[in-house]
Each structure stands twice: as C-alpha cells, then as structure tokens.
C-alpha cells in the first residue's frame, strides 16, 4: 500500500465518520453535549491509524519475522488501554449529564478499527 493511497483512504474514512457524527448530532439532541468529544475522538483515532501505518510499514519490511505480529499485539493492547483511559478521563473531567459519549466513542472505535485491520492486512501481504 502506498503512502498516497493510505492517506486518501484515511481522509475518506475520517470525512465519512465526521459526516455520520454530524448527522447523529443533528438528529439526537442528547449527543450535542458531546460535540467536542466527538471531534477529539476522531482526531485521536486518525493519529493512531497514522502511527500504526508507519510502524506497520517498518515492521513489514523488517528482517524479524515476529516484528509485525508483535506490533499487532501491542496495538490491540494499547488501543484497549487508550479506550478505557479516554472514557474515564472524559467522564471525570466533564461529568456529562448523559452516557451518549460512550456510544460515540464505540462508533468511532469500530470504524477506525475496521480500517486499521484492513490496511494492516494489506501491509502484511507486502
């Protein structure tokens, strides 16, 4: 996978996710309270995908046969810790009046995880 094709797809995923969240915020008033959280979550996962892409390219080209597997294992664990930390910090810092932020986070998490699995699989084949 080329750098250009990765960034085109990442931009499309990010734009689609942002559009979906914008529509949901318009249709579901309780979600409006979490607008900044939505934006920060999309940016966070965009950065995570970028970091994993560059690390994955490096690991796939490595002479070590386990480098890519180790990266995938570390990324799964790291994303789980990051997810718990983000949700906990947001809840503690803002004391939201509803729990819609969890649904927003899960939606963004799933979208970017599917994208991550797709591009990591493509990198593994190279």
Over the stretch 16-68, which tens digit does the pLDDT of each residue have? 999 999 999 999 999 999 999 999 999 999 999 999 999 999 998 888 889 99
Q: Which residue, chain included where needed, has tokens 């080209």? A: 61
In this prediction, residue 1 carries a pLDDT of 83
Domain ranges of the chain: 3-125
Query: Where are the strands (E) in 1-102, listed by range?
Result: none
Segment 8-27, tens digit of pLDDT = 999 999 999 999 999 999 99
Q: What pLDDT score does 117 carry?
A: 94
CA-based R_g, the chain, Å: 16
d(CA 82, CA 14) in angstroms, rounded, equals 19
pLDDT interval class at 85 (50, 70, 90): very high
């Amino acid at each position: 996978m080329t750098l250009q094709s990765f960034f085109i797809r990442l931009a499309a995923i990010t734009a689609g996710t942002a559009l979906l969240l914008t529509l949901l915020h318009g249709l579901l008033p309780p979600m409006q309270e979490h607008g900044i959280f939505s934006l920060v979550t999309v940016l966070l996962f965009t950065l995570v995908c970028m970091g994993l892409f560059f690390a994955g390219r490096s690991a796939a080209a490595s002479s070590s046969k386990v480098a890519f597997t180790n990266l995938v294992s570390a990324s799964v664990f790291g994303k789980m810790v990051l997810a718990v930390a983000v949700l906990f910090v947001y809840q503690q810092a803002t004391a939201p009046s509803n729990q819609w932020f969890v649904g927003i986070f899960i939606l963004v998490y799933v979208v970017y995880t599917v994208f991550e699995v797709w591009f990591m699989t493509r990198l593994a084949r190279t």
